[in-house]
Chain A
């Protein structure tokens, strides 16, 4: 069983490593340079997949947290830990790559637009969940607390998006422009392959983190047993 899981991680690793250079080639060599924005536009192929994966991680977090509250099986909690941590890393990357592109494209680093604001709020929610788990006096308590917060946060995120959208109104500026203009064929394939690579990378990191969490649990159980047999 455990060996099968290791093979699964190995396959994910191999696929990610194999496809990553392909994505880089498609992005930097094959895809045509955007006329107006120039080389800056290349960050689009990283930013968009990372953002998509960030929001994917919220759904995985919801599944893990709700699954744990329902069944109390450690495996669900490992999924919730892994998704929250990897999600936070990806969310940080979104918040870094976004402004780098926004400054030359929009002229500002930041606007209070729905997608940006939601990502920032999501970052705070994920950080709060991890913080609370770290504060727990026992891992079991941490798992319950993080699951409760995870469920609330994951349900909250779409509502935050909708609310900020109403509050700010739809900005007709550049954000919509990339979508109405059909991407050049080279651009589309670069984006799709990049998306695939990031989804694979996410799955790999989550799978590895889940394995680590299982090992941590086992180590804690062994230490506990050793401590008991000594006393």
Chain B
């Protein structure tokens, strides 16, 4: 739906004239970010509705493991979302993604890991506060700035068919962010589950 709105907002001619690398990565990641925020909030809604988070917190495992479970689930959901969004983007905005499928998949995967980790951590916070998507967007979007910058930059290079090796520092940054977010989240997740 969002893609359709963007399709109206930016005329296809304009996008063609400017080249796919200029606008399409931004559209793609904005759509992903907002869809992901809805998904992240949902991922804790079921537990909240039935107070099941207490039961989860009581389980005799490390609370970090609870985070890892949630994170993997959100990661899988995001991948499914991307599997739909990427072809749609290519279709609507007339971008050839088949030729660059390999590097594009790498870029998307790398940034989805970190986005899922940060999103899961913040969604847990928002769920504990009894709030919804609005607060999650307020918290997640600024915090994920470096991730989005890197994602948009790398996606642009892929779509413009330039070699990814020039973006090694961005890819390293994304990898570092993935590791940092997951590590920090595993370490501090139990503070959120505590009653």
Interface residues of A (CB under 8 A from B): 69, 121, 124-125, 127-128, 131-132, 135-137, 141, 144-145, 147-149, 151-153, 155-156, 159-160, 162-164, 166-167
Contact = CB atoms under 8 A, between A and B. Distances in A.
Given A128-B138, A145-B128, 16 more contacts: A124-B141, A125-B143, A128-B142, A132-B126, A135-B131, A144-B194, A148-B188, A148-B192, A149-B125, A152-B121, A152-B143, A152-B181, A152-B184, A160-B146, A162-B173, A166-B170
A131 B137 CA distance: 13
A89 B188 CA distance: 27
Interface of B: 118, 121-122, 125-126, 128-131, 135, 138-139, 141-143, 145-146, 149-150, 153, 169-170, 173, 177, 180-181, 184, 188, 191-192, 194
- Give the top 8 A-B pairs by smallest Cβ distance, nearest first: A163-B146, A124-B142, A135-B129, A128-B139, A144-B191, A163-B149, A159-B146, A121-B142
A160 B131 CA distance: 26
Nearest to A168: B149
16 contacts: A69-B188, A124-B141, A125-B143, A132-B129, A141-B128, A141-B129, A144-B191, A145-B192, A151-B188, A152-B121, A152-B184, A156-B145, A159-B180, A160-B145, A162-B146, A163-B173
Contacts of B145: 121, 156, 160, 163-164
A208 to B, nearest CB: 27
A159 B129 contact: no
Contacts of B153: 167
B155 to A, nearest CB: 13
Nearest to A126: B142
B129 A156 contact: no
Nearest to B143: A156
A166 B169 CA distance: 9
Contacts of B126: 132
A164 to B, nearest CB: 7
B170 to A, nearest CB: 7
Contacts of B129: 132, 135-137, 141, 145
Nearest to A127: B138
Contacts of B118: 152
A158 B80 CA distance: 32
Contacts of B188: 69, 147-148, 151
Nearest to B150: A163
Contacts of B128: 141, 145
A135 B127 CA distance: 11
Contacts of A131: 135, 138
B138 A124 contact: yes
Which one of B130, B170, B173, B188 has the greatest number of beta carbons of chain A within 10 Å? B188
B135 A135 contact: yes
A162 B146 CA distance: 8
A135 B159 CA distance: 42
Contacts of A141: 128-129
A29 B7 CA distance: 58
A155 B183 CA distance: 12
A162 B173 CA distance: 10
Contacts of A147: 188, 191
Given A69-B188, A147-B191, A155-B184, A132 B142 contact: no
B148 to A, nearest CB: 9
A196 to B, nearest CB: 31
Nearest to B137: A128
Contacts of A155: 180, 184
Given A136-B129, A137-B130, A145-B192, A159 B177 contact: yes
A167 B126 CA distance: 30
Contacts of B142: 121, 124-125, 128
A213 to B, nearest CB: 19
